[in-house]
Chain A
Amino acid sequence: MTASTHAAHLAQLNVATLRHPFDDPRVAPFVEMLEPVNAAADSAPGFVWRLVEEGAADATGLRPAGEDVIVNLSVWETPEALWDFAYRSGHLEVMRRRREWFERHVEAHLVLWWVPAGHVPTVDEALERLADLQAHGPSARAFTFASSYTAAEAAIEAEAEAVQHLQAAPPTQPEAIN
């Protein structure tokens, strides 16, 4: 059964490579903004969930994508809700100053995808979506704000892929080679 549109939520992952160690004074303004900005996220309209390290207030201590790479993983009711928080709240000030603290990424560093409402995405799942976007460009499986897909489009594509997979399942597994 395909998930109906209203039962889908939008998951987002972004990765950012620190220019300096997290406790370096040059990163301090970013660290100071974490608490108010995370609090703003938690009370933002349409916010559902964000990744937090056990026993911590945020996920900056988790480094699943590399020792100097911090990750931000969250779920929102709609793309508009995420957009308004990311670019129309105090979070924009963090974004504006991103070059002071983070390396410029050559590859995609933000990925969006649809999840069934109630599903809590894992870090592995999120990193797979980012790798998908980096390898194949935007699709209904993994996209960006500039190349957005609806939950209905994602459901159709997922179904088509499942059918394809069933038909072409036995002979090869090309993805595993790389």
Chain B
Amino acid sequence: MRRRLYEYVAAQGREVGRNEAAQATGVARTLAAHHLDRLAEAGLLESGSRRLTGRSGPGAGRPAKVYTRARAERSVSLPARDYRTAAELLAEAAEQAGLDAGLCAAARRRGEALRGSAAPCGDLEQAMEMLAARGYEPHLEGVEGASGAAADVVRMRNCPFHAVAERFPPLVCGMNLALLEGLLGTDGPVHARMDARPGNCCVVVESSKNNDD
């Protein structure tokens, strides 16, 4: 429930009041307020107060509490852990040793294990869910196919491996693609492929039938 509230607020890209968040996620207002405040305490949301009615002065009533997603990149670890330094050192060593193939094989196996089921991902909607759960912030984008027919691809606003990917792009982006290939399957209705653009994850997901055009 807390995740739903966070995701709703994050996806709006503006201030969201308690009533709106409660209605959108189908949660009672007092319960929504409790979880929103807990998210703000954890630093994942920022809270402020605003008179949503637009009135001001003594008769305007109590200002309502509003929430937005916190801008800063956060990681919380108790007790203190430093996986980022470990990841950077391992990536540096893998880069120098040319271990791309071994890393991708491990990533593909991990993706398959995360998928759990034997069947590949069924459609783009399911792919969106799987990607959202792993922090990729997917969204659908329409593209004109070669035949002129509009087809959708899933693009991702967030790279979960951002800091390491910036330092070792071919290695880490290759790892990311292999992980997603494992997660979604390579011979099912949808597949992942590399299509890097500034400001986005380097991978897109599309329907496999697009290729038959």
Contacts and interface: CB of A to CB of B under 8 A. Distances in A.
Interface string A42-71: 000000000000000000000000000000
Interface stretch (A2-10, A82-90, A148-156): A82-90
Given A93-B194, A98-B170, A146-B167, A88 B202 contact: yes
Contacts of B202: 88, 92
Given A84-B198, A87-B196, A92 B100 contact: no
A36 to B, nearest CB: 13
Given A93-B194, A96-B174, A96-B194, A87 B169 contact: yes
Contacts of A87: 169-170, 173, 196
Nearest to B175: A96
Contact of B194 (A84, A92, A98, A146): A92
B100 A99 contact: yes
A95 interface: yes
Candidate in B169, B174, B196 with the most chain A CB atoms within 10 angstroms: B196
Contacts, number: 39
A104 interface: yes
Contact of A95 (B97, B98, B169): B169
Nearest to A92: B196
28 contacts: A84-B198, A86-B169, A87-B169, A87-B173, A88-B198, A88-B202, A89-B196, A89-B197, A90-B196, A92-B169, A92-B170, A92-B173, A92-B194, A92-B202, A93-B196, A95-B169, A96-B100, A96-B170, A96-B173, A96-B174, A96-B194, A98-B100, A98-B170, A99-B98, A99-B100, A99-B101, A104-B97, A104-B98
